[in-house]
Structure 1
C-alpha cells in the first residue's frame, strides 16, 4: 500500500504529470497487480486532492519503494511524502 501526501500548491504539477502517472497505473492493472487506486480528497473541499492511495501487489517492499520513487508525481514534486506499508487484502 502506498499512501502519498501532496505538497503545497501542487495542483498544476499534478495535472501536468497525471497522464504519465495514469499510464503506470494502467500497466499495473494490465498485469493484474492493481487492487485499487485513487486520490485522497480534502475533507473541507472534496474538489481538491491532498494525496493518493495505491494498493497494488509488488514482489517486496523494496520493489514498491523503487516503483514509488519513479512515479511521475514524485519527479514533478507533487508528493511531499510517500508511506509504504504491507497490505493484506481480506475482501475483494
Structure 2
C-alpha cells in the first residue's frame, strides 16, 4: 500500500539539510530502484522552484510499504531525523486515485 510521509522542518534547517542531503537522497533512490517510490521532494519556504537561502519547510514522500509500521520505521530512520532537520513527521496510508 502507498503511504505518505509528511515531514516538517525545524526553523533554519537548510545547513542541516545540506550536510545530510546525500544520505537522505540515497534512501529515496533505493526506494525508486525497487519501484516503490511514487513521488518525493521538499517544500520550498517561498513560492519558488529555487528558494535559495530561504530553504525549505518540510518534505513529502509517497512510497509503497507493506504496513503502516514499516512506513513509520522507514521514516524514523531517515538521516534527516538523526541530523535534526525534521521537527515532526506524519505517516498516513494513501490511496492513489488519479492519474
Which TM-score bucket, shorter chain as reference? over 0.9
Give distance in 2, aligned partners of 1:45 and 1:80. Answer: 22
Contact 2:65 2:71 in 1 (8 A): yes
Task: Kindly tell me the number of residue pairs found equivalent between the two proteins.
Answer: 91
Correspondent of 2:80 among 54, 73, 77 = 73
Correspondent of 1:12 among 12, 15, 20 = 15
In structure 1, stretches of 5+ residues that fail to align are: none
Please list the CA deviations of residues 35-74 of structure 1 after superposition, one character each: whole Å capped at 9, or x if unmatched.
Answer: 00000122x4530210000000011110001000100000
Give distance in 1, aligned partners of 2:80 and 2:22. Answer: 10
Give the TM-score taking structure 1 as reference length.
0.93
SS at match of 2:70: helix
The aligned runs of 1:1-92 (5 Å cut-off) are: 1-42=4-45, 44=46, 46=48, 47=51, 48-92=55-99
SS at match of 1:25: helix
Q: How large is the Cα RMSD of the aligned pairs? A: 1.1
Give the TM-score taking structure 2 as reference length.
0.87
